[in-house]
Amino acid sequence: MENDVSGLSRRDALRKAGTVLGAVAAGELLAAAALPAIAQAESAIFGPLHHVGIVVAPNYDDAKAKLAAGLGVDWYPPRVDTLTLRLENGHVGTYTDRVLLSRSGPPYLELLDAVPGTFFNAVPPYVVAELGYVVGPDNLATASAMLTDAGMPLVGTIATEPQTIPVGVAWHRISPGFLIELLAFDPVASMT
């Protein structure tokens, strides 16, 4: 899909993005329009858009089934992870989340179960929550610092002691309910 959105209104850009699965294309448009430093650079650090994450509550399984039946989305098996995260206020907690990733991509479509008490608490439900980039383990701290310096604070990472840099993943807030996720490793590699 063409990334030039300079002459498009928001409505035309969304119409160009398509229907429900257009959320992936809309993520590309959002990246190009709202995050020019990342989208235009597509540097060795950030690379292309990896996925668009959508928090689905309360009918996660229903959304999965409808996208599969109605639009032919083929999913990797769901992954359930229990992570110990450090949030931006310093709170460390253990959270369990369920993640579903489309087989087609990049960019992939990612469905996330709402996780109360975190930045993935879907209010309102069906929130396009994140744009994800695989930056690699050697670039995670640098990419995270770049986003922080650009006014997008770090809101969560895997908790370690002592915590001096993000570990494994770094979520940065663009605005309330909208994040950039930086990944040290491509999750597709661990899907079966």
- List, for residues 25-34, the tens digit of each pLDDT value: 444 444 444 4
Count the Cβ atoms, other than its own, within 10 Å of residue 132.
Answer: 26
Output the furthest CA–CA distance in the chain (Å, rounded).
48
CA distance 52 to 107: 7
Alpha-carbon separation of residue 77 from 12, 95, 151 (angstroms): 34, 20, 36
DSSP run (H or E) holding 10: helix 10-17
Q: What is the pLDDT of residue 115?
A: 82
Tokens linked to 140: 């995670």
pLDDT in tens, 38-95: 444 445 688 889 999 988 877 888 989 998 998 899 999 999 989 899 988 888 999 8
Crossing angle (nearest 10°) for helices 22-34 and 10-17: 140
Indicate the CATH number of 50-190 among 3.40.50.300, 3.30.460.80, 3.40.630.30, 3.10.180.10: 3.10.180.10
pLDDT in tens, 125-172: 556 688 999 999 999 999 999 999 999 999 999 998 888 889 999 999
Whether this prediction's pTM lies above 0.75 is answered by no
Residues in CB range of 89: below 8 A, 6 or more apart: none
- Structure-token match 């179960």, residue found: 113
Q: What is the pLDDT of residue 43?
A: 58
Question: Taking the domains of the chain in order of start, what are their residue ranges?
Answer: 50-190
Q: Which residue has the higher pLDDT, 116 or 53?
A: 53
